[in-house]
Amino acid sequence: MKFYTHVSDRYAPFNTKVIAANASEAAHILDGLLHHESALDIREHYTDTAGAIDHVFGLCCLLSFRFAPRIRDLADRRLYVLDTHAEYKALTSIIGGAVDMRVVGDNWDEILRSGASIKAGTVAPSALMRRLAAYPRQNALAKALREIGRLERTLFTLDWISDPALRRRANAGLNKGEAHHALKRAVFFHRLGEIRDRTFENQSYRASGLNLAVAAIVLWNTVYLGRAVDELRSRGETVPDELVAHIAPLGWEHIAFNGDYVWPAEPLQNTFRPLRSPRADFLDAA
C-alpha cells in the first residue's frame, strides 16, 4: 500500500489516505480536497501527470477547484474545440477533435446530481471515479464528464503554455509536496519505513500518526523560525517578508528522531527554548 497525502501551500498535511500500491491516484484527488475537515479554503490543486485525466478535470470544474497538473510530454497532448471548422492557425496540428456538447446537454441533470451528491458527502468521489472507469463506453455520465474534462483540459493547457506564473506556481507546489515526503521518510525510521500492519484500520492509524508527527515538526519549526526572524530584526538586520515567504519549515537536522524521550510531569506553558546565537556558532566553527 501507499499513503496518499495532500499538502497545503504552507507545508502542512491536511489529509492522508491509505490506498493500494497499484491504485490510480487520480481517483482519490477529490477525496482529500472535499473531506479534509480543516479550515483551509482550497482553490487550486497541483498534481503530477498521473492525475491528469479528463474525468478529474471535469469533476474539479463542477466542484469549483482549479486543477493544475504538471503534464509530461505536453507536445503529444491533443486539444479539443467546439467547432472543428474554425481557423486555429498555429494550433491546427494539435487539435484532436471536437467536444460533443450534445452528450453534455443530454446528461446535464445527471451531472448536477452527481456533483451535488459528492458535495453533500452522499458518495465518495473515489467511488464514483471507479464506477466511471469500469464502464467508460456504456456509461452516459462517464461520456459527458469526459467531454467536460476535455474542454477544461484544453483551456488549462492553453493557460499552461501562455502563463509562466502558473507553471512556476505548480512546480513550487509539487516541490513542497516532495520536500514534505522527504521529511516523512526521515521520521518513519521504525522498521525501516515498512508497514507491517495487516488491517486497513491499523494501517490508517499508522498513516494518521505519521501525519501528526510531521505536522508537529512543521509547527515547531514555524514557531521558532518566526522567533529567529524577530530576533534578527530586533538587532537591526534586514529580513524582507518576500524572503521569509520562501523559507520552508521542513528541516530536521536539529531534531533527534531516536534516543531518550522525556515527558515532564507538568507541561511547560508559554516556554521556549533559547535561540542559538549565529555569531557564537560562527566563532565555535572557526
Q: What is the pLDDT of residues 212-258, one digit of tens each?
A: 888 889 999 999 999 999 988 988 888 898 888 888 899 888 888 87
pLDDT tens, residue by residue, 147-182: 999 999 999 998 998 899 999 999 999 998 889 888
Q: Tell me what pLDDT residue 112 has.
A: 92
pLDDT at 279: 62
Q: What pLDDT is stored for residue 128 in this prediction?
A: 86
Q: What residue spans define the domains of the chain?
A: 2-172, 185-285
**Nearby residues of 25 by Cβ (< 8 Å), 6 or more positions away:** 4, 19, 47, 50, 51
Is the pLDDT at 121 greater than 70, yes or no? yes
Quote the pLDDT of residue 213. Answer: 87
Percent of the chain with pLDDT over 70: 92
The model's pLDDT over 28-70, given as tens digits with 9 standing for 90+, comes to 888 889 888 788 889 999 988 777 788 889 999 999 899 999 8
Query: For the chain, what is the largest distance between any 2 Cα atoms, rounded to a whole number of angstroms?
Result: 77
Please tell me which residue, 48 or 137, carries the higher pLDDT value: 48
Give me the pLDDT at residue 136, please.
60
Mean pLDDT, range 82-103, rounded to an integer: 84
Q: Which residues, at least 6 apart from 204, have a Cβ–Cβ distance to it below 8 Å?
A: 18
Instruction: Give the tens place of pLDDT for each residue, 254-272.
Output: 888 877 767 777 766 777 8
Q: Is the pLDDT of residue 21 over 90?
A: no
Please give the mean pLDDT across all residues of the chain. Answer: 84
Predicted pLDDT of residue 282? 46
The predicted pLDDT at position 192 comes to 65
pLDDT bin (cut points 50, 70, 90) of residue 286 is very low
Q: Read off the pTM.
A: 0.78
